[in-house]
Structures are given as C-alpha cells and as structure tokens.
Amino acid sequence: MKKSIVVANWKMNMGISDAHVLATEVRNGLSGIGSVEVVLCPPSIWLSEVKQIIGNKKISLGAQNMFYEPEGAYTGEISPTMIKEVADYVIIGHSERREYFGETDHDVNEKTISALRAGLIPIICVGERKEKNNIVEPVKELREALEGIPKKHFKDIIIAYEPVWAIGTGENAEAEYVAKVCNKLREFVDAETAIIYGGSVKSSNVLEYAKRPEIDGLLVGGASLRASEFIKLCKDWSDARSLK
C-alpha cells in the first residue's frame, strides 16, 4: 500500500536550540495525527538530537543527503550505514545538491542503490528547471536514478517531484499540472511507489494537492521551519486524506 507522507526538509537551517524547539513543537502538535506519515529531515549534525526529541513512531526521521560508500577515507561525508543507525529515510538528488555541488544523475543512481542496500528509504528528487510543460527532464532524471534497480525495490522508494522553478520562489505548481507529471512518472515505477510534490508548498495551498489522488504527499521546505505552519499543513493534509 502506498504511503501518504509529508516530509520536512529543514535544509541548512536551525542551530541546536532552535532545532530542539521546532522538533518539540512539531512532536507535540502532531501527537494524534493519523492518515499520514510525517518525516523530519534536519541538518545531519542534529539527527541524533532530533531523534531523541521525537522519540516515537508518530514522526519519522530522515537525512538530507549521504555518500554512496559504506565507509572509508571520505572526509566530511556520512554513509548510509551511519544514517541507518538513527533514521529511516534519506533525500537524494535534491536540485540544490545538483546545482551547488555538481551532483549528476549517475551520482543519484549510485546513492539510491546504496541507500536501498543499507535498508534506507530513498526520497529521489526530480524536476524540470524551466517553467512548466517540460516533463521530459524529470522523466529522464527518474529513469537514470532507477538504472539497474530491480522492480521489486520500487515499492521501497519515494519519488519527490520538485520543479526547480517553484522551489523557494513562492510560485507553486498548479495541482492539475503536478498530477499530470505524477501520472507520467508513475509509468516508470511500481503502483505502490509514493510520488510526492514539493515546491513552495504551504498551508494555504495544501488542499489543492490533497484533492488529487495522483499525489501521495508533500516535500516541504520553508514552511517546515515554522512549527504552527507545518503542523497546520500536516493536519490539513491528514484530514483531507482521511475523508477519501
């Protein structure tokens, strides 16, 4: 059965005290939530700290990135086996990793394979750079990311469709267009693979996406840094989905 999931990507934000406050408020605010799995992805340096705070099965934990080797002389990197000791998810191939750190489709493929081997659930990010009507680009990125991965593992993968032009711009993609892209991406994965949307998602537009059965969840950036906003977003998504 496909996951209904909301992922919070804190990116490179939050000192330790702020991370404590945000994680605590989100934990308390979502203690009774149902119909959706919530995943917090703090900076890797705070993974263990946040794990201690959430400390229950209502909220899961994910890393924002990883290296594909399990160990070795790779100064500054973290391995999938390290992440697995504290988290269950890992974001792979985010557009900011591709843009600022030169990650390629091949890198994303290697990381995805390594994450699956370690027992992690990879959240693979794909998306076009120019605005709208360019489905070819996310499809290409997805096909490259899945190269050599047996179809039996597709149920253990999450695809995050994030059009680059919508990330952090305040210009979210229309739900109808997102549903169209999700349907196209679905052709390359399993029926049980969750496909989620990210790109200027906030509580004021979450219901647009929750109404579309093609969209299985959300990857939230800036809105996840404000506890009240993120809690409302998650609850609205959960309530909408529980009515289906």
Catalytic residue among 103, 110, 128, 162: 162
Catalytic residue among 37, 94, 96, 110: 94
Q: Is beta strand 194-198 parallel, antiparallel or unpaired with respect to 158-161?
A: parallel
Please give the Cα distance from 55 to 42 (Å, whole number). 15
Active site residue 106: no
Average pLDDT over residues 183-191: 95
* pLDDT tens digits for range 93-130: 999 999 999 999 999 999 999 999 999 999 999 999 87
Which letter does DSSP use for residue 64 in this model? S
Per-residue pLDDT at 1: 55
Please give the Cα distance from 163 to 98 (Å, whole number). 13
Which letter does DSSP use for residue 172 in this model? P
* pLDDT tens digits for range 56-73: 768 999 999 999 999 999
The answer to whether domain 5-242 has CATH 3.20.20.70 is yes
Per-residue pLDDT at 195: 98
Cβ-Cβ contacts under 8 Å for 99 (sequence gap 6 or more): 164
- Tell which wins on pLDDT, 210 or 133: 210
Q: Is the pLDDT of residue 34 over 90?
A: no
User: What pTM was computed for the model?
Assistant: 0.96
Mean of pLDDT over the chain = 94
Q: Is the pLDDT of residue 23 over 90?
A: yes
Active site residue 20: no
The ranges assigned to domains in the chain are 5-242
Which letter does DSSP use for residue 123 in this model? E
Among 99-103, 118-122, 132-136, 197-201, the least confident range: 132-136
